[in-house]
Amino acid sequence: MITREERLKESVRNIPDFPIPGIQFKDVTTLFKDAECLQILSDIMYEKYKDKGITKVVGIESRGFIMGPILATRLNTGFIPIRKPGKLPADTIEEVYNKEYGTDAIQIHKDALSEDDVVLLHDDLLATGGTMLAACNLVNKLKPKKVYVNFIIELADLNGKELFDKDIEVETILSM
């Protein structure tokens, strides 16, 4: 008998040298394609957060837009998108962050969260952690009560978790 996590790990497809040489790309579309895996993942994530008083799930463009809304419907919360600049139609706030080459930016609607919200921030994969740290900083500008951070996959060798303050709970389902 294999564990639920082993079943999920087996469903993730590894693509060597994508999008550039040297990167082992973890393709979650093969997990999402499998009905049983999608259900298992949804169950595991729901079980982790069902008693945390979450009021909003916030997903990062674009692969955080798949499990984010699934989780939001299960937790009976709203869903909020964080997007690249120029995509959100109403007033936004922005966070600029450093990438390996140059800078990048992400935005959220100014009125997306209130000070009463308990936020679950979600993305598919934790590599260096730079994107999620920027998302945490962005969300914290709107002063929610508490922020939880969640990924499906963590690339363990990169130690991305260490970027985050100790008071933020960072959870990953699969370590690869």
Q: Rule CB under 6 A: which residues touch ligand AMP?
A: 23-26, 63, 123-131, 160
Catalytic (active site) residue 100 = yes
Minimum Å gap between C-beta 160 and ligand AMP is 5
Q: What is the DSSP letter of 142?
A: T
Catalytic (active site) residue 162 = no
Sign of the Cα pseudo-torsion (132, 133, 137, 143, in order): positive
SS3 content of the chain, % helix, strand, coil (to 5): 35, 35, 35
Q: Which is nearer to ligand AMP, 55 or 108 (CB)?
A: 108
Q: Which is nearer to ligand AMP, 126 or 139 (CB)?
A: 126
Q: How do 103-109 and 92-98 pair as beta strands? A: antiparallel
If one counts every other C-beta atom within 10 angstroms of the C-beta of residue 63, the result is 17
> What are the angstrom distances between the C-alpha of 123 and each of 104, 126, 150, 161?
17, 8, 7, 13
Considering only the C-alpha atoms of the chain, give the largest distance between any 2 of them, rounded to a whole number of Å. 51
Minimum Å gap between C-beta 140 and ligand AMP is 17
How far apart (Å, rounded) are the C-alpha atoms in residues 12 and 27?
Answer: 6
Minimum Å gap between C-beta 128 and ligand AMP is 3
Q: Which of 63, 74, 83, 171 is catalytic?
A: 63
How far apart (Å, rounded) are the C-alpha atoms in residues 150 and 172?
Answer: 6
Minimum Å gap between C-beta 104 and ligand AMP is 9
Q: Which is nearer to ligand AMP, 128 or 140 (CB)?
A: 128
Q: Which is nearer to ligand AMP, 80 or 125 (CB)?
A: 125
Task: Report the catalytic residues.
Answer: 63, 100
